[in-house]
Amino acid sequence: MLNETRLSKRQRHERIVAEAMANSTLRVSELAAELMVSTETIRRDLYELGEKGLINRTYGGAVRPLGTEPSVSERHRMMVPEREAIAAATVRFFKPKEVVLIGAGATTTHVARRMAAECRDITAITHSFSVATVLAANPTIDVLLCPGRYDGGEGMISGAETIEFLQSYNANWAVLGATGLTSEGLSDAGAGAASVYKAMMLRAVATIAVADHTKYDQQALAIWGRWHDIAHLVTDAAPVGSVARAIERARVDIILAQKRS
């Protein structure tokens, strides 16, 4: 649940969005009690988040819009300890001379940052400007940036040119994030990103999905992979219910990353 310590407005907004990602439906009275502020303050928070398109306001609360998630800049500030732990667990798979395809997103950028700190002699192929920038700090990592149409809001490239470029390469690993994880599989809020993820997955020997627990039971616009396509899921908490059963049937290896205390 949410932190009992009184938070700043920015922190409240981050936690409200994170809670919406986890629970889909929010109630004003419950948020006010958990965040230790008045219901009027929560209503103002929900109004501002609604104006930004991060939630849909309802009578007495809010819901997260289907197929949407916060902007990439906002996601970079959310779930940071969890994403750092996921990144640390993910880079243990990579060995020198391997080729790694990396999708766009906040969690994959954390993976790239850890790769830059710990990995050597790797070729990385990405369609994300932030991933490429972080990896470039390590001179032993050869970074290939995909061509295509640039999405400034997400800091990524997609389109027909991107898919064609990816089809020219083979890779050991694809490291991909997701907006949602359901029993059906893995999905993204953007159809363009989902197409790139699917292309990356098809060019890799094995795919590693990296996602924190707030993505469970969330549905997004475009499904880019089914669970039988995934070799490893690196996350911060074990899935439950129908998602857990689907992952177990597909024999996906689950790695639970531990946050630093």
C-alpha–C-alpha distance, residues 36 and 2, integer Å: 10
List the single range of 37-41, 97-101, 184-188 with lowest mean pLDDT. 37-41
**Residue 11 pLDDT class (50, 70, 90 cuts):** confident
Cβ-contact 207, 90 below 8 angstroms: no
Give pLDDT tens digits for 85-105. 999 999 999 999 999 999 999
Query: From residue 196, how far is each of 17, 101, 216, 236 by CA, in Å?
Result: 26, 10, 22, 25
Q: CATH 3.40.50.1360 occupies which residues in the chain? A: 74-256
CA nearest to 72, candidates 115, 31, 35, 103: 103
Q: What pLDDT score does 3 carry?
A: 44
Between 9-23 and 28-35, two packed helices, what is the crossing angle to 10 degrees? 130
How many Cβ atoms sit within 10 Å of the Cβ of residue 226? Answer: 12
Number of residues assigned to the chain = 261
What does the buried/exposed string (b/e) look like for 69-106 if buried means 16 or more CB atoms within 10 Å of the residue's CB? bbebeebbebbeebbbbbbbbbbebbeeebbbbbbbbb
Q: Would the pLDDT of 33 be above 90?
A: no
Cα atoms found within 13 Å of the Cα of residue 246, Cβ hemisphere only: 19
List CB contacts of 73: < 8 A, sequence separation 6 or more.
Answer: none
Q: CATH 1.10.10.10 occupies which residues in the chain? A: 9-65
Q: What pLDDT score does 1 carry?
A: 41
pTM given for the model: 0.74
The residue ranking higher by pLDDT, 226 or 261, is 226
Provide the CATH topology of domain 9-65: Arc Repressor Mutant, subunit A (1.10.10)
Q: Would the pLDDT of 125 be above 80?
A: yes
Helix, strand, coil tally for the chain in percent (to 5): 40, 25, 35
Q: Which CATH number fits domain 74-256: 3.40.50.2300, 2.120.10.30, 3.40.50.1360, 3.30.2270.10?
A: 3.40.50.1360
Q: Would the pLDDT of 20 be above 90?
A: no
184 DSSP assignment: T
Residue 233 β-bridge partners: 209, 254
Q: What pLDDT score does 224 carry?
A: 97
